[in-house]
């Protein structure tokens, strides 16, 4: 069991020096100067809290408690644990209403609200489609028409029946199941942030595998938040730009590495639950919002919708911002487009970038 609590001392000459190794499509977090790092494994990744070295002495212990709470939530949300609340729900909810943990009920409510907002582009019941396309085992393939039709029958958030008074959930379709992979980390981060803020910790950054990030306050006095470098979705050693994050969250979704070609089409693992086919016209989409559950889920839904629809959605909903990365050709050259992010907060690193503010 990995448990790290230590200062980070890195060179400040290059703000990207010694950034943590990002996962696929993930941003990188700059660590110049002295920072305290608290790390715990959870949800098949590592969650980390970074704080300035001059924080109160109690702050690292508070951070550790917050990360332990994320591990508790994992025990409720994980479909890989047979004794979790969500596993019980998936086994029994087609037969009867199942009373669930309040956190599971709340996150499903949030997921349904975002499904409604995105017109169904985000859907926690889409797992059967991911299975049908072979992406669950990272071996993408084109399913037969019969397989696709059967999977679509089991998908549809509208078939989730919630009873707020009884805190129960029922499935209206027999083969339904839910998976919180596209919102669970964000919800857990929001819970941890609330614990830190309530305990008086003002300046910190917390992330889950670097694809979901929340920043509060500033990295150091005089800075406009915390700098986050966005990585090339195919060549992760290349950085496309830097965004300053303060009192908000950032999430990245994409299919830069999980895809296959079928009849000249590039088909990625982000499935549109409405059509059953891989969706989107981007390699990656990074979304900024006020809370992490929202940024996580919207990054997924708007990626599936594609850049034109994502742009319309963000422009119609103040407080959101996106950075879309599109493939120019198969040489790994990309076009980077930022929407609704102020110039002083977004610094592109290459000429192919453009802003729509």
Got the DSSP string for 183-225? Answer: THHHHHHHHHHHHHHHTT--SEEEEETTTEEEEES-SSTTSSS
Higher local confidence (pLDDT), 298 or 3: 298
| pLDDT tens figures, 104-132 | 999 999 999 999 999 999 999 999 999 99
Residue 351: the pLDDT is 47
188 belongs to an annotated ligand binding site? no
Residue 35's nearest CA partner among 219, 177, 303 is: 219
316 belongs to an annotated ligand binding site? no
Superfamily holding 4-71+183-356: ApbE-like domains (3.10.520.10)
Residue 83: CB atoms within 10 A of its CB come to 8
Domain 4-71+183-356 matches domain 85-171 at the CATH topology level: no
Evaluate if residue 63 carries a pLDDT over 60: yes
* CATH code of domain 85-171: 1.10.3980.10
Residue 124's nearest CA partner among 135, 111, 113, 134 is: 111
Q: Please, are residues 227 and 244 in contact by the beta-carbon 8 Å criterion?
A: yes
- Whole-angstrom Cα Rg for the chain: 20
For residue 315, give both structure tokens.
């422009």
Residue 122's nearest CA partner among 130, 114, 131 is: 114
Q: Locate the domains of the chain by residue range.
A: 4-71+183-356, 85-171
296 belongs to an annotated ligand binding site? yes
Residue 15: the pLDDT is 27
Q: Where are the alpha helices (DSSP H) in the chain?
A: 59-77, 85-92, 102-117, 127-132, 145-153, 184-198, 292-305, 307-316
């Amino acid at each position: 069991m990995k448990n790290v609590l230590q200062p980070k001392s890195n060179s400040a000459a290059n703000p990207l020096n010694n950034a943590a190794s990002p996962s696929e499509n993930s941003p990188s977090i700059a660590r110049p100067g002295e920072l305290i790092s608290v790390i715990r494994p959870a949800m098949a990744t590592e969650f980390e809290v970074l704080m300035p070295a001059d924080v109160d002495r109690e702050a690292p212990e508070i951070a550790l408690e917050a990360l332990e709470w994320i591990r508790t939530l994992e025990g409720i949300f994980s479909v890989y644990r047979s004794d979790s609340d969500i596993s019980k729900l998936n086994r029994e909810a087609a037969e009867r209403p199942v009373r669930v943990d309040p956190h599971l009920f709340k996150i499903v409510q949030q997921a349904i609200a975002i499904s409604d907002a995105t017109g169904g582009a985000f859907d926690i019941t889409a797992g059967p489609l991911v299975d049908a396309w072979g992406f669950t085992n990272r071996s993408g393939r084109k399913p037969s028409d019969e397989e696709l039709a059967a999977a679509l029958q089991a998908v549809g958030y509208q078939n989730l029946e919630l009873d707020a008074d009884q805190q129960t959930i029922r499935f209206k379709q027999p083969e339904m199941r839910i998976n919180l992979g596209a919102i669970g980390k964000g919800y857990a981060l929001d819970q941890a942030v609330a614990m830190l803020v309530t305990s008086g910790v003002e300046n910190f950054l917390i992330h889950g595998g670097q694809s979901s990030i929340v920043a509060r306050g500033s990295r150091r006095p005089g800075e406009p938040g915390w700098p986050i470098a966005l990585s090339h979705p195919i060549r992760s050693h290349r950085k496309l730009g830097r965004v300053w994050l303060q009192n908000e969250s950032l999430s990245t979704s994409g299919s830069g590495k999980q895809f296959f070609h079928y009849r000249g089409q590039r088909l990625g693992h982000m499935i549109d639950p409405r059509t059953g086919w891989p969706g989107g016209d981007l390699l990656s989409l990074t979304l900024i919002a006020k809370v992490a559950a929202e940024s996580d889920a919207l990054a997924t839904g708007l990626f599936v919708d594609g850049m034109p629809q994502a742009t319309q959605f963000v422009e119609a909903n103040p407080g959101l911002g996106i950075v879309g990365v599109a493939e120019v050709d198969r040489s790994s050259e990309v076009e980077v487009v930022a929407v609704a992010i102020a110039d002083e907060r977004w610094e592109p690193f290459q000429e192919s970038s453009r802003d729509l503010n």
